[in-house]
A and B are shown apart, each in its own frame.
Chain A
Amino acid sequence: MNRPGVAQSEGAVEIAPGVHWIGVRDPDLRTFDIILKTANGTTYNAYAVRGNDGVAIIDTVKANFADDFFRRIESIARYDEIRAIVLNHMEPDHSGSLPELLKRAPQAKLYISGRGRPMLKGLLHGDRLEFTAVHTGDSVDLGGRTLRFFQTPFLHWPDTMCTWLADEGILFSGDAFGCHYCDARLFNDAVGDFRFSFDYYYAHIMRPFRAHVLEALEQIEALPVRIVAPSHGPVLRDRPQRYLQRYRELSSPALGKETGELKTLLVFYISAYGSTRAMAEEIAAGAEEAGGVLVSLYDIEGGEVAPFVDLIEEADALVVGSPTINGDAVKPVWDLLSSLATIQVRSKMGGAFGSYGWTGEAVGMIEDRLRGLKLRVPMKGVRARLIPTEVELAECRSFGRDLALHLTGQMENQIIDMATLA
């Protein structure tokens, strides 16, 4: 009986004529790369493609699983037959066994993405490692069949690419369309229900790069794909197009852009005695006055993080208010700001504000975090000691108005001497 998650075959598994899965299984893994949970372990998939002139190995496996990997290669090929090694992605779970493979097959040429050079250097300290950097449209002839390369940057590293075997319609997709789900039955029509793993993997690995996913889909959807062979999880041979479609669905805005030409500004605050709240309301009112901006106001205390993250993903600007308590912004604010690494926030506009008792560090700390997330922070945040005065509330209104002017491109040209910049 084929028991899910239990390794059965020691040898390679044919997925198409002359094309074998030579990966390894890691069924006991429960946490991948610190950040991902997996209820079913994972697989590190690698593949061998045989042509008339030799064999290509596509990806390797994590170094401590190398023995299984080499056993599977040896079940279908001699090392001296290997003429090409392709790394779709340089992360250690796929490049870890490369040094040993190159020792065993020193004649093989190594092909990596044009953007993989610094990764190769950093991971393998491979200054003297010879390789060919390939770009979209480049190919390798194996004799009677050809591997063609597509650069798919940021799915999910800068170097990631896909390799296409046209005669079998197989897309070796790297981490794209993968998931952490280990099942020895291998193929998507044979394994257990892995849909939640597929979506979860997308949400944590691909979602920050969804614009790049959509660009990659433009290339991939044009191909007559019969099998998607990712570097983790099941091989997708049954109706592979539905997984491409699922990526398109997952990459579409969760809430939909319903504001037309209006820019969207979200004002988040948390407030113990109403001071930071009063500032938030003035900022929101000021931004409204400027026009062209749809302003929304949220009390962080009353919401869950996940829907706020969905809102922020779609917004053009984000302003966060926190009181300073014990020299810091408060935990719910950090909970929200630490959850933004799973979405793309680069180049959105950001700002900070808050009331304080005697030090007021929170505003600067939030601004630093926003800059760290690669938001642009065009204006120094506003602070008020304890209960904001009418003057301070007017400053908040002005801050909101100016933010909106920045956001809508209405800010007049300013000429500044660098010496006056802080």
Chain B
Amino acid sequence: MPKANVTFADVNVTVSVPAGTRLIEVSEKVGAGITYGCREGECCTCLTKVISGHENLGAPSALEDQVLKDNMAPRHHRLACQAQVLKGEVVVIPA
């Protein structure tokens, strides 16, 4: 299975993950500061800044796109409960 690396910059932990892993599947296990509310892509609690490697995440769904717009999320911000790491290196930090 193809692998990718995601770094949670606030705790300085890099995790090698199978392609397609969502950030939510990893962040709590390493104690990163991304916090979750509904975990279903609606509440925007888990808004996360993608410091680098934005292009290595899967494109946001229509639902995620709408929630990001409703909450006036800045560029290169994603919902950690939705965003999937597809390839390469991704570095994130809580928004």
Contact = CB atoms under 8 A, between A and B. Distances in A.
A and B interact physically: yes
B94 to A, nearest CB: 6
Given A115-B71, A371-B28, A376-B32, 10 more contacts: A118-B42, A118-B70, A133-B70, A376-B33, A376-B35, A413-B13, A416-B14, A418-B18, A418-B25, A421-B30
A421 B15 CA distance: 9
Contact of A379 (B31, B36, B71, B72): B31
A326 interface: no
Nearest to A136: B72
Contacts of B11: 376, 378, 406, 411
Contact of B12 (A114, A115, A375, A409): A409
Given A347-B33, A347-B35, A347-B94, A413 B28 contact: no
A418 B42 contact: no
A346 interface: yes
Contact of A417 (B16, B28, B43, B45): B16
Interface residues of A, number: 28
Contact of B15 (A117, A409, A416): A416
B30 to A, nearest CB: 7
A376 B31 contact: yes
A115 B47 CA distance: 15
B49 to A, nearest CB: 13
A9 interface: no
B36 A114 contact: no
Contact of B16 (A115, A118, A133, A418): A418
Nearest to A351: B31
A415 B18 CA distance: 15
A347 B31 CA distance: 10
Nearest to A113: B70
Contacts of A379: 31
Interface of A: 114-115, 117-118, 133, 135, 158, 346-347, 371, 374-379, 406, 409, 411-418, 421-422
Interface in B20-51: 21, 25-26, 28-33, 35-37, 42-45
Contacts of B14: 413-416
Contacts of A412: 12
Contacts of A118: 42, 70
B12 A413 contact: yes
B71 A415 contact: no
A23 B27 CA distance: 47
B70 A117 contact: yes
B80 interface: no
B32 A374 contact: no
26 contacts: A114-B70, A114-B72, A115-B70, A133-B70, A135-B72, A158-B43, A158-B71, A347-B33, A347-B35, A371-B28, A374-B37, A374-B45, A375-B35, A378-B31, A411-B11, A411-B12, A413-B13, A414-B14, A415-B14, A417-B15, A418-B15, A418-B18, A418-B21, A421-B15, A421-B26, A421-B30
B57 interface: no
Contact of A416 (B13, B33, B36, B37): B13
B92 interface: no
B13 A414 contact: yes
A212 B13 CA distance: 30
B86 interface: no
